[in-house]
Amino acid sequence: MSDLKLDAVVGRARVGCKGPAAESWLATQGIRVPRDANSYSIDESGVLTARLATSEFLLESTETASEEIVGAIRRDLQGGDYPKGVYPVLRSDFVLEISGAQSDELFLQTCAVDLAPVARASTASAGPIVMTSMIGVAVVLACRQMPGSTRFSVWSDPSYSTYFHSQLRAIAADVIGRY
């Protein structure tokens, strides 16, 4: 029996911003941003901060303790309370968490890049971000090495959510024998 899991993630506070002043503004808000482009880190309160390229950021709450932190930044961005050079980015992503030993096989069948090096370069609180496609859908991927498992978070456009989730489940049924 497979231990593969394809779990839709709902209810996490999420926000995005970009621009030449975004990094310094986030720092004034108490957010530590990753130094390198296309990487993420998770702070002690559970705020995942992803640096997408050089000056675009995705923040997401991964723990209850970080909901208010991310929510406050979202309120500031929605209310116009940010400096020149910072631009809000709408983040209404469909998020899927994929885990289990058979996730490697699923990614080999569906993803445009080999994710093995991404998994090796990741820890529970930091790692690379990959922008690629899965089954024809543009996605952003991050890997977390959790105790006893490897977990991939996959962000995609919400308009593809039904297609994306159902097709991955169908492929998993064909390739892995589950779902």
Starting at the earlier edge strand, list the strands of the sheet with 39-42: 5-9, 94-99, 149-156, 137-146, 126-134, 39-42, 47-52, 56-61, 14-18, 87-89
Backbone angles phi, psi at 100, to 5 degrees: 110, 155
- For tokens 């090096």, the residue is 117
Residue type present at position 3: D
Q: For position 3, what pLDDT does the model report?
A: 84
Instruction: Give the SS3 label for residue 94.
Output: strand
Sign (positive/negative) of CA torsion 46, 7, 98, 18? Answer: negative
Per-residue pLDDT of the chain (179 residues; tens, 9 = 90+): 468 999 999 999 999 999 999 999 999 999 999 999 999 999 999 999 999 999 999 999 999 999 999 999 999 999 999 999 999 999 999 999 999 988 999 999 999 999 999 999 999 999 999 999 999 999 999 999 999 899 999 999 999 999 999 999 999 988 777 55
Q: For position 177, what pLDDT does the model report?
A: 73
| DSSP letter assigned to residue 32 | P
| DSSP letter assigned to residue 111 | B
Cα–Cα nearest to 60, from 70, 74, 45: 70
Domains in the chain (CATH in brackets) are 12-89 (3.30.70), 93-175 (3.30.1360.120)
Record the pTM: 0.93
